[in-house]
Structure 1
Amino acid sequence: MTMPDRRMVTLLISVILLFPGTSYPRQRSSNQTITWYRADFPPVTIVEGPNAGLGFFDRVTDLLSDQLPDYDHRHQVANFKRIIIELKNKKNVCCPSLYKTRERDTFISFSIPAMVVLPNVLITQKSLKDKLGPYLDRNKRVGLTGLLENKNIRLGISNGRKYSGGIDEVLSQFQGAENISIRSGEDVFKGLLDMLFLGRIDCIIGYPIEASYFLKGKPEFNKLQIYFIAENKIDFTIGHVGCPKTEWGEKIIERVNQVLIEHRQTPEYLDFYEHWLNDDTVPFYKKTVADYYDGE
């Protein structure tokens, strides 16, 4: 080796010793990577179009990613059934928008409440009011059990989705019924709305804001009729962040809870959901959230 070559090697070694942290990028292990799963579920999570990434739980995911900088954050889209399977298989994945059920609690580590959400309702067309009328109580709430006992009334639901509040218990009694259409895929609710207006089904279970998201400004929007569900015993539902019930998952949830405690009642955080409500509903929602956290 010539003298200039030796000097060059000496110089390179000196640089490496002086700046060891910048010599080579450190590859994080799989335990330092969170894969965030989300469904195509506007406006909860929005995966395409001009509002992609602006769903209210998309924004929760962004907040958590910012507040957990020591992890790599990756994103995947799947339906809820696939997401639950991944969690059940103890993969290093999390979902920002899950309902807590007794069954799920056996294999999912849930965060504290991450979002207070107005309840699921029955969505139909005004033209079908007479058909559904016999199943309404004095408060104009629809009895889902009686409705499903009529085989001539067809209901559409999303595959793998939990509706909470007593609705799932009713649906379980009619598992496999021919008058319940179960839709899968990455455009589930939009597909159900299409089926509704094509006359293939008579009603859907979902959030009012879902229907507003897809139909606002369209002629079909004014054709919608919404009924609260009599068997739904709660005024709101609670969304949680969920990770597998493993040492890794519980560690992530512990960190998530710290972020939620700090942010979930701030105006900026509440706007994640309020952004999708009409102006008349925002005051009711603010009071609902305040009452819930005051009583927690």
Structure 2
Amino acid sequence: MRNVMRHTWSTPSSCFLFLFIMFLLVSTAVRPVQAKETLVWSVIDFPPFQILDGTYAASGSFDGELQTLIDNMPDFDHKITRMSFARRKQEFLRGTNICTPGIFLAPAKELNLAISKPALTHLDNRIIFLKNKAALFGRENPIVLEALFKRKDLVGGIMAGRSYAPNIDPVIQRYKDSPNLVIRTLTGDQLFQMMQNGDLDYLIMFSHEAAFQNIRMGLNDMPLNRSIAGTPPYLYTYVACTGNDWGRSVIKKVNTVLDRERAKKSYQQFSERWYPQEDRKKVRRYYPHMLKE
């Protein structure tokens, strides 16, 4: 009987059948892992919105929001790429498939991006200056930006490629060639240091942005600030992706996450990060308006 079985199994047709069955078993058991699509996030060192370096790294408002999106979009292989404002704009203009966790509405529309629902709430931009320069600004509050840019006795600092607000950006554009405006591709802390050194008389920044720089540099005197005429008391930032079919499909998924997360207290705290207590109260007052949009 053993000889018969050995002989039967050794025939070519039986061997082929055995190998075919083994192939089916192996191919069924070992399925290839489907590769995830890579989602590139453009991040900018923009404290305290996005903090990429130092003791306070990853504690910005965009940092918390981005981590929430990553945690809730597991179908993607998320890649974080550091860029300047100028490079991010160039990549969007080239049509590179990227997304950004934080951008204001005006520049996003200008670049024809796929734009999410409002993602975070922020207070307005301010004119920031040191106490020893206070006399130069008199009692004007709010400050009319165009009149400020016309003054020849004051030098202001502007971050190149950054969008400030719909009523601020056009004025900067009109006066961009003024010798009294220093417009450079620098980080906020570099501009703040130039003001501390006396190279600049004022900056345009958010109040908590200036406060953060002051804390990070270990300075005692908090800089002063004045409102800018025509600037709304609060504004939103948005998640945006390249304005093509790919970007629009990603934004649909982003909006699904925002619908689920924005009303949570843990998410709202991203908008409140780094503001002094009084300003946090203002953010809390304005935040519910965002949930209606």
TM-score when normalising by structure 2: 0.87
Identical-pair percentage: 25
Contact 2:40 2:98 (8 Å CA) reproduced:
yes
Name the aligned partner's letter for residue 107 of structure 1: N
Which of 260, 263, 269 is matched with 2:261 structurally? 263
Which of 8, 33, 52 is matched with 1:25 structurally? 33
- SS of 2:106 mapped into structure 1: coil
- Tell me the equivalent position of 1:49: 54
Aligned-residue Cα RMSD (Å) equals: 2.5
Contact 1:87 1:107 (8 Å CA) reproduced:
no
Name the aligned partner's letter for residue 76 of structure 1: T
1:16 and 2:26 equivalent?
yes
Which moves more between the two structures, 264-273 or 105-114? Answer: 105-114
1:91 and 2:96 equivalent?
yes
Once the two structures are TM-superposed, the CA of residue 221 in structure 1 deviates from its matched residue by 4.5
- SS of 1:107 mapped into structure 2: coil
CA distance in 2, matches of 1:37, 1:292: 24
Q: What runs of 5+ residues in structure 2 fail to find an aligned partner?
A: 1-9, 11-15
Q: What runs of 5+ residues in structure 1 fail to find an aligned partner?
A: none
- Tell me the equivalent position of 1:58: 63
CA distance change for structure 1 residues 276 and 223 in 2, over 3 Å: closer, same or farther? closer
Contact 2:211 2:223 (8 Å CA) reproduced:
no
Once the two structures are TM-superposed, the CA of residue 223 in structure 1 deviates from its matched residue by 4.4
- Tell me the equivalent position of 1:163: 164
CA distance in 2, matches of 1:106, 1:273: 25
Once the two structures are TM-superposed, the CA of residue 209 in structure 1 deviates from its matched residue by 1.3
- Tell me the equivalent position of 1:82: 87
Once the two structures are TM-superposed, the CA of residue 115 in structure 1 deviates from its matched residue by 0.7
Q: What are the residue-to-residue correspondences of 1:228-243 with 2, within 5 Å?
A: 228-232=227-231, 234-243=232-241
Which of 101, 124, 132 is matched with 2:129 structurally? 124
Once the two structures are TM-superposed, the CA of residue 180 in structure 1 deviates from its matched residue by 0.8
CA distance in 2, matches of 1:126, 1:144: 20
- Tell me the equivalent position of 2:199: 200
Number of aligned residue pairs: give it. Answer: 280
Name the aligned partner's letter for residue 34 of structure 2: R
Which of 107, 115, 124 is matched with 2:112 structurally? 107
Which moves more between the two structures, 282-291 or 151-160? Answer: 282-291
CA distance in 2, matches of 1:221, 1:107: 43
CA distance change for structure 1 residues 253 and 172 in 2, over 3 Å: closer, same or farther? same
Q: What whole-Å deviation, never above 9, does each CA across 1:203-228 have from its counterpart, x for those lacking one? A: 00111111222212766352411111
- SS of 2:164 mapped into structure 1: coil
Name the aligned partner's letter for residue 25 of structure 1: V
Once the two structures are TM-superposed, the CA of residue 14 in structure 1 deviates from its matched residue by 5.9
Q: What whole-Å deviation, never above 9, does each CA across 1:222-262 have from its counterpart, x for those lacking one? A: 24111111132x11121011111100001011111111121
- Tell me the equivalent position of 1:290: 288
Name the aligned partner's letter for residue 158 of structure 2: I
- SS of 1:220 mapped into structure 2: coil
CA distance in 2, matches of 1:12, 1:201: 76
Name the aligned partner's letter for residue 261 of structure 1: D
CA distance change for structure 1 residues 12 and 141 in 2, over 3 Å: closer, same or farther? farther
CA distance change for structure 1 residues 98 and 141 in 2, over 3 Å: closer, same or farther? same
